[in-house]
Amino acid sequence: MKTLHVDLGERSYPIHIGQGLLQQADLILPHIHGKTTVTVSNETVAPLYIDSVHGLIEGIENTDVILPDGEQYKTAETLGKIYTQMLQAHCDRKTTLLALGGGVVGDVAGFASASYQRGIHFIQIPTTLLAMVDSSVGGKTGINHPLGKNMIGAFHQPQCVIIDTDTLNTLDDRQLSAGIAEVIKYGYINDADFLQWLGQNMDKLLNREPEALAYAIYRSCQHKSDIVAADEKEAGQRALLNLGHTFGHAIETGMGYGKWLHGEAISAGMVMAAELSREHGWLSDSDVAGMRSLLNKANLPVAPPAEISAERFSELMSIDKKVQDGVLHLVLMKGVGESIVTSDFDHGALQKVLARG
């Protein structure tokens, strides 16, 4: 087992990564202070792993809340159901919430814990690769609103994160690859050595070799936690985590949510960011080809869908612009493993990249 610490002063917490961690009660028990827990999961993940979680907290009074599966349930209505079941079970301010599942469960359950009785402790037990390397670390919690994704939420850090790599054995191949897109993203943000390692070990990751998975997750969480520790509330540097995301969000929205997985859209989005960086002379043709080949190896898309025109792309990307005081900021690459956040890019070059899609 490997352990990392997210360094946030009083709100610091450990991330444990390894095989068989859902059998190790000593990792979780020190973080449960009251006499009660609520375990939030969904109807897909609960049948697979909730018994193991129950085994970890034997003797503690626990209530299960099982949500329907899907991003469409990351809503205020679901949140209301969690509150209701917690109130019915007499959960109090000392109750600890355990979030068992992918990013959807982590986000909505995390927000329930941020707001129930003004905030209770929670523990993340992520079971998708995306949740392990991204959503379970950093304290962003929330739900969707009919008018926008992730529009309602709070920063609320967990007490600890428990990553049992064995849970990835039941994840389908497409979800695994989507998670690998976010892993590759960390390499392009600031870790060229990691990119090299990923190039050499992609088959092992796709074959779910535990050592390779644990290493990739560890290194990804290290990057995420370093960035979060430096900029918890996203005043600046944390925006680097959005590499490929402005383009990717446009793909997700443009295609209709659910058609492309988030990680797939991010994969094509990173290629578009790389192409724009090449237009500025910051990346070479072979750098861009190298990115395509790595993403290809991970069975990820390397171009946006032809259905989205350049005009539609611009329109969709202006949503991100509105979020940033009217100026579009993009994460671009000054070199391989050297990303920057900038609003200073050539708009003609951007149009050229969008038109290629």
187 in contact with ligand NAD (CB under 6 A): no
292 included as an active-site residue: no
Nearer to ligand NAD, 27 or 104 (CB): 104
Q: Which of 245, 278, 292, 329 is an active site residue?
A: 245
Examine residue 101 and tell whether it contacts ligand NAD (CB under 6 A). Answer: yes
Minimum distance, C-beta of residue 145 to ligand NAD, in the bound complex (Å): 13
By beta-carbon proximity to ligand NAD, the closer residue of 135 and 220 is: 135
Report the helix count and the strand count for the chain, using DSSP H and E: 13, 11
Active-site residue (options: 58, 77, 118, 207) = 118
**Span interacting with ligand NAD, options 17-25, 27-35, 67-75, 203-211, rule CB under 6 A:** 67-75
Decide: 217 and 163 in contact? Cβ < 8 Å: yes
State the Rg of the chain over Cα: 20
The alpha carbon of residue 4 and the mean position of all alpha carbons in its chain are separated, in whole angstroms, by 17
Please tell me the number of Cα atoms within 13 Å of 60 on its side-chain side.
27
The yes-or-no answer on residue 249 being catalytic is yes
User: Would you count residue 268 as binding ligand NAD (CB under 6 A)?
Assistant: no
Q: How far is the CB of 249 from ligand NAD (least distance, A)?
A: 10
Whole-number Cα distances in Å, 281 to 151, 285, 334, 336: 36, 10, 9, 12
Distances in Å between the Cα of 180 and the Cα atoms of 69, 176, 195, 238, 299 are 22, 6, 12, 20, 10
Cβ-contact 21, 217 below 8 angstroms? no
If one asks whether residue 140 binds ligand NAD (CB under 6 A), the answer comes out as: yes
Taking the C-alpha atoms of residue 166 and residue 175, their distance in angstroms, rounded to an integer, is 15
Residue 245 a catalytic site member: yes
HSE-CB at 86 with a 13 A cutoff on CA atoms is: 27
Query: Can you say how many angstroms the Cα of residue 163 is from the centroid of all Cα atoms in its chain?
Result: 13
Q: Count other C-beta atoms under 10 Å from residue 180's C-beta.
A: 27
- Say how many residues touch ligand NAD, by CB under 6 A: 27
d(CA 40, CA 62): 10
Contact pick of 135, 159, 253, 267 for ligand NAD (by CB under 6 A): 135
44 lies in the binding site for ligand NAD (CB under 6 A): yes
Buried/exposed 13-28: b ≥16 CB within 10 Å, e otherwise: bbbbbbeebbeeeebb
Judged by CB under 6 A, which of 62, 113, 128, 177 binds ligand NAD? Answer: 128
Q: Determine if 127 is a binding residue for ligand NAD (CB under 6 A).
A: yes
Residue 307 beta carbon to ligand NAD: minimum distance, rounded to whole angstroms: 23
Considering 42, 62, 144, 242, which one is annotated as catalytic? 242
What mask, x for binding ligand NAD by CB under 6 A, covers residues 291 to 330? ----------------------------------------
The answer to the question of residue 69 lying near ligand NAD (CB under 6 A) is yes
Q: How far apart are CA 137 and CA 8, in angstroms?
A: 12
Q: Which two tokens stand for residue 34?
A: 């009251």
**Shortest CA distance to 90 belongs to which of 123, 63, 124?**
63
Residue from 15, 18, 134, 176 in contact with ligand NAD (CB under 6 A): 134
Contact string (CB under 6 A) for ligand NAD, positions 74-93, x = contact = x-------------------
The binder of ligand NAD chosen from 175, 196, 299, 351 (CB under 6 A): 175
**DSSP at 171:** S
Q: Which stretch binds ligand NAD (CB under 6 A): 20-28, 80-88, 134-142, 184-192?
A: 134-142
Interaction between residue 107 and ligand NAD (CB under 6 A): yes
- Judged by the rule CB under 6 A, the positions of this chain that interact with ligand NAD are 42, 44-45, 48, 69, 71, 74, 101-105, 107, 127-128, 130-131, 134-135, 138, 140, 150, 167, 170-171, 175, 262
Positions annotated as catalytic residues are: 118, 140, 182, 224, 234, 238, 242, 245, 249, 262
